[in-house]
Amino acid sequence: GAGVSQSPRYKVAKRGQDVALRCDPISGHVSLFWYQQALGQGPEFLTYFQNEAQLDKSGLPSDRFFAERPEGSVSTLKIQRTQQEDSAVYLCASSLLTGLRETQYFGPGTRLLVL
């Protein structure tokens, strides 16, 4: 079946511009995660949804970052007033259920460059 998809794959933004990144999880997956991956680093957790509920947003770096999943499927990560330090790859992952046994499956990521 189809995996996790993300769009756009690449985004160039001018500093101060707002951006929206989309994630389509694997159909039927309850849990959805966003990670940020800086160049040469491992992914770092941003936020987590169980269905439409955002249960953990402890990794969001500032109040300029906002994520939603209103119908429990597609999710959008929005970054307001982008800064150069926001340049990174943003990865979305989903898992079938919630809990320790679950494996997270990742999308191809959105590479954001802020000029």
**What burial class does residue 45 get, using C-beta atoms within 10 Å of its C-beta: 0-12 exposed, 13-18 middle, 19+ buried?**
middle
Q: How many alpha carbons lie under 13 Å from residue 30 in its C-beta half-sphere?
A: 8
Applying CB under 8 A, the site for another protein has a residue count of 29
Interface of this chain with another protein, residues 32 to 91, rule: CB under 8 A: 33, 35, 40-45, 48, 55-56, 58-59, 89, 91
- The least distance separating another protein from the CB of residue 48, rounded to whole angstroms, comes to 5
Closest CA to 6 of 88, 112, 110: 110
In sequence order, the 6+-apart residues with CB closer than 8 A to the CB of 38 are 44, 88
Binding span for another protein by CB under 8 A among 21-29, 65-73, 78-86, 92-100: 92-100
Which of 2, 39, 53, 100 touches another protein by CB under 8 A?
100
Q: What's 22's DSSP letter? A: E
Nearer to another protein, 6 or 82 (CB): 6
Binding site for another protein (CB under 8 A): 31, 33, 35, 40-45, 48, 55-56, 58-59, 89, 91, 93, 98-101, 103-109, 111
